[in-house]
Amino acid sequence: MDIQLNFINDSNDTNNSRIVIFQKNVGTDFDELSVAWKVIRYCGQGDNHPFVFPMEMAVCASDSYGNYTPQLLAQNGQLFTMTCTASGDSLSEAGYGTSTREVQVLNGLQKGAINASIYRGGKLLALKTSIAPQQKAVFQFKPTIWIGVASQVEEGQVMNSAIISSVNTELSLLGLVKADIVLTGGGPGTDSRPFQFNLENTVMA
């Protein structure tokens, strides 16, 4: 079931900051750069911004020739394989992967690296590039979102490590049906307090 969220700006921020929301792919051993899944802009003091966090994901792949496959609905535990068919490179579901917590994409081509992308609600959530033949990309997400205040960030773009490391608020969505995400803090001068994001008015399943 999709989660109804509502961002509320109760901060003292007058810099017209952007709010970035993303998930981290925990299916890899090393810290990879995350994609800005959603960016809220121009949400003034006292304003709110409702949005939906969909449970459903979709996967797509692109090959070294710049071709993109259609997006296929993806669930944890599924394996997808990029293969060369009579009509060209094609991504298809290939049964179960090696983990029930991951979406896996295998490069089944004889030659040429591929990129794998995963989407949530039509927006790019995570990206894995340069997957060599017979190598796999794995995507695994905890039921949490990361949220922070940023300036130079664009929706759908890979964020640099400085932005990612400056975002330290992780909100759990486990069992959540709807909630407000309330931003407080900020403001000019020495009296300014750190920004804080809190879940309020939560409705649980």
Q: 72 burial class (0-12, 13-18, 19+ CB within 10 angstroms)?
A: middle
Same domain membership, residue 84 and residue 124:
yes
- At residue 99, the pLDDT reads 95
Q: Which of 139, 163, 188 corresponds to the end of one domain?
A: 139
Distance of alpha carbon 145 from alpha carbon 53, whole angstroms: 10
Predicted confidence at residue 188, as pLDDT, reads 82
Is 147 found in the same domain as 133?
Answer: no
* 110-156: pLDDT as tens digits: 999 999 999 999 999 999 999 999 999 999 999 999 999 998 899 99
Predicted local confidence at residue 109, as pLDDT? 97
Which residue, 139, 160, 187, sits at the end of a domain? 139
What pLDDT does residue 123 have?
Answer: 97
Query: Which residue numbers in the chain have pLDDT < 50?
Result: none
pTM, two decimals, is 0.95
pLDDT of the residue at 32: 79
Is residue 152 classed exposed, middle or buried when 0-12, 13-18 and 19+ CB atoms within 10 A define those classes?
exposed
Question: Pick from 77, 40, 39: which is nearest to 57 by CA?
Answer: 77
Say which residues have a Cβ less than 8 Å from residue 195's Cβ, sequence separation at least 6.
Answer: 11, 13, 148, 149, 183, 184, 185, 186
CA-CA-CA-CA torsion sign (184, 188, 191, 195): positive
Full DSSP string of the chain: --EEEEEEE-S---S--EEEEE---TTSSS-PPPB--EEE-S--TT-EEEEEE-S-EEEEEE-TTS-BPPPEEE-TTEEEEEEEETTEEEEEEEEE-S-TT-EEEEE--SS--EEEEEEETTEEEEEEEEE-TT-EEEE---SEEEEEEESS--TTSBPPHHHHHH--EEEE-TTEEEEEEEEEEE-SSTTPEEEEEEEEEEEE-
Q: How far is CA 125 from CA 11, 56, 145, 156, in A?
A: 27, 12, 11, 7
pLDDT score of 31: 67
* Residues 99 and 155 sit within 8 Å (Cβ to Cβ): no
Same domain, 65 and 134: yes
> Per the structure, how many domains does the chain have?
2
Same domain, yes or no, for 41 and 78? no
Domain coverage including residue 190:
3-54+142-204
Do 88 and 151 sit in the same domain of this protein?
no
Q: List the structure tokens of 5.
A: 């969220």
